[in-house]
Structure 1
Amino acid sequence: MLESVRQGGPRFVCVRAEAVAAGYKAHLAAEAEVELGAGGAGPEDLLYLAVVNEAPGGGLAANLAAPIVLNKRTGVGLQAVGAAPEYPAQATILGPGERESC
């Protein structure tokens, strides 16, 4: 669960993008790198998350095309829309009927 630090801010269910797509790579725009403070950040400093939603027709899907990117050193994050157009916005992680109730 990714949650805003602001009281009553947004919350998102997320998974590590590479857990859905092995070898996942996104391409940050220069503006996004500046906003994240990622200029001197190494790959280990950035965390790429995919937001999980209910898929059309049931099941669960992850948005790999527009990852949430967090700078683990600074705590700054953003959604990098267009950073990974080669990946689907609705990558199936659980098909219809595969979810179990808690």
Structure 2
Amino acid sequence: MPHVVTDACVLCKYTDCVDVCPVDCFHEGPNFLVINPDECIDCAVCVPECPAAAIFASEDVPGDMQEYIALNAELSKTWPSITRAKAALPDADKWKDVKDKLKYLEK
């Protein structure tokens, strides 16, 4: 099962996960990252790298974040691939622990 980027990434966009991905399955939007489920090999090396704890195996995505499974699949088709880490968003540390950020997601 592929991995999924969830709510904690919105408005943070830490990219530590990108550097460790062996198949470059991350895609970048304005204020969020997603994983292409067709490219993810379920290696899980990205999970411990995320400072916001935003990445889950699809079968472990919390119930209140299930919509992120479809969002990752949908947005990874149109957003460009990201293969190298870059600076997080300027207010990432402020937003890291805020909950229910879907309303702030820029598509």
**Superposition TM-score, scaled by structure 1 size:** 0.29
Higher relative contact order (CA 8 A, sep 6+): 2
Q: Which has the larger radius of gyration?
A: 1
| Structure with higher helix content | 2
Q: Relative to total residues, which structure has the larger strand share, 1 or 2?
A: 1
